[in-house]
Amino acid sequence: MNAMKAAVVLSVLLLPYALTHVNAQGEFKVDIPEGSQKVDTGRSYTPTRINVPVGATVVWKNLDDAPHTVTSGTPTCPGLCWGVDFNSGIMRLDDVYRVTFDKAGIYHYLCALHPWMIGTVIVGDVQETPLELSVRLDRTTYKVGDNVNLEGSVSTLVEGVRLMIDVLNPDKESVVSESISVGSDGAFNYNFKLAGNEFIPGSYTVKVMYSDADAERTFVVERGAVGTDDGNADIRVAAKQIKDLLLIRVRNAEASTANVYGITIGTSDSVIEAFKGPRSWSEASVTASEATSSSDDEPLSPGGKAVFKLKVSGDDFVIVWIAFDSEHNVLDQGEAKPVRR
């Protein structure tokens, strides 16, 4: 008798959960919650995975102010792979979309406007083998100028699906975005160089996606370059502002092991109206907030000094500078606050 009471109590407790995503018509409900369009909220289709019997109808409703879609496919197989089984088109606030599933199987879908939003409908008694994705980096700490080597494997190959790799910088901006093929044995590898102005010291995140599996790894970028012919630079920058004239003194320290062939100077909250580098350096290129000057044959050697002159429009800002070698690999970088006179 006690066991029967316990069973009744348990069934009563579970009943609201069982009916949460089934409406009065026996249709299975999936909501698109408010805020789903923002990648950092972690919100997506609710529930993300749903099991239904063959012949069941799934109903999606958009509860978000932003438009969305319900499109069959996966983020790693765009283009012709999307919308083969079903596609809602644009769904605006309170729009509803229905699909009746007459065939057993596993149906992956996503929002074509926000492809980080993914969902799965499992129809019938289908045993799904979880796809496992492993990712490894050759190191966890690098210096500007290094190569980053990434490798890994997937447990199951999915036809027509490519591996997606996205690298986010410390400001959570994408600096590397690539799709690659996975080998017939499930293995993959990819490498990229930490070269260019977009790679700054700080913590980076590598996001890898394959079908509905994903993995993340982090690494740290430190100043300077390792393993390059030019070695490491040790740059000291000081700046003085007199009205709208900015004098920037750059010194390559005696202990430096690299020649500096160029420097890029950026100003936050200020417009660069004119720029002049050392006489021995080539003519500078200038944009509204950034100026670059370089030399092919007269670098700033260890112990050497150079003066750069800028005409600016702002009064209170920070100088962001990047020094690079003859091949435009970053040697050193930093910030300086001008002293006003």
Specify whether 198 is located in the same domain as 246: no
CATH number for the domain spanning 287: value is 2.60.40.2430
Specify whether 206 is located in the same domain as 287: no
Q: What pLDDT does residue 228 have?
A: 40
Query: Which residue among 104, 123, 142 closes a domain?
Result: 123
CA dist., res. 329 & res. 47, Å (int): 47
Q: What pLDDT does residue 229 have?
A: 39
Q: Which residues contact 105 (CB under 8 A, 6 or more apart)?
A: 123, 124, 126
Specify whether 40 is located in the same domain as 86: yes
CA dist., res. 135 & res. 175, Å (int): 19
Q: What pLDDT does residue 146 have?
A: 82
Angle at 242 between CA 236 and CA 246, to 5 degrees: 45
Q: What is the CA radius of gyration of the chain?
A: 28
Residue numbers of the chain with a pLDDT score lower than 50 = 1-20, 225-230
Specify whether 175 is located in the same domain as 205: yes
Pairing of the two strands 330-336 and 272-276: unpaired
**Alpha-helix residue ranges (DSSP H) falling in the chain:** 2-19
Specify whether 111 is located in the same domain as 152: no
Which one-letter DSSP state was computed for residue 83? Answer: T
Domain housing 251: 235-340
In a domain, residue 227? The reply is: no
Q: What pLDDT does residue 13 have?
A: 40
Q: What pLDDT does residue 121 have?
A: 93
Q: What pLDDT does residue 3 have?
A: 46
In a domain, residue 228? The reply is: no
Specify whether 199 is located in the same domain as 305: no
Q: What pLDDT does residue 136 have?
A: 95
**Strands, E, within 243-318: which ranges?**
245-252, 262-267, 272-276, 285-286, 290-294, 305-312
Q: What pLDDT does residue 91 have?
A: 96
In a domain, residue 229? The reply is: no
Taking the alpha carbons at both ends of the chain, their separation in whole angstroms is 90
**Residue 231, φ and ψ in degrees, nearest 5:** 75, -150
Residue carrying structure tokens 């320290």? 253
Pairing of the two strands 285-286 and 290-294: antiparallel
CA atoms within 13 Å, Cβ hemisphere of 287: 8
CATH number for the domain spanning 157: value is 2.60.40.1930
pLDDT in tens, 158-207: 766 788 899 998 888 888 888 888 988 889 999 998 876 678 788 999 99
pLDDT in tens, 127-170: 767 788 999 999 999 887 788 999 999 988 876 678 889 999 88
Question: What is the number of domains present in the chain?
Answer: 3
Q: What pLDDT does residue 71 have?
A: 95
CA dist., res. 48 & res. 44, Å (int): 7
The burial class, CB within 10 Å (0-12 / 13-18 / 19+), for 289 is middle
Specify whether 8 is located in the same domain as 115: yes
Q: What pLDDT does residue 24 have?
A: 62
Q: What pLDDT does residue 282 have?
A: 76
In a domain, residue 261? The reply is: yes
Query: Which residue among 195, 222, 249 closes a domain?
Result: 222
Specify whether 179 is located in the same domain as 76: no
Query: Which residue among 164, 188, 222 closes a domain?
Result: 222
Q: Whole-prediction pTM value? A: 0.43
**Residue 60, φ and ψ in degrees, nearest 5:** -100, 140
In a domain, residue 313? The reply is: yes
In a domain, residue 230? The reply is: no
Q: What pLDDT does residue 235 have?
A: 86
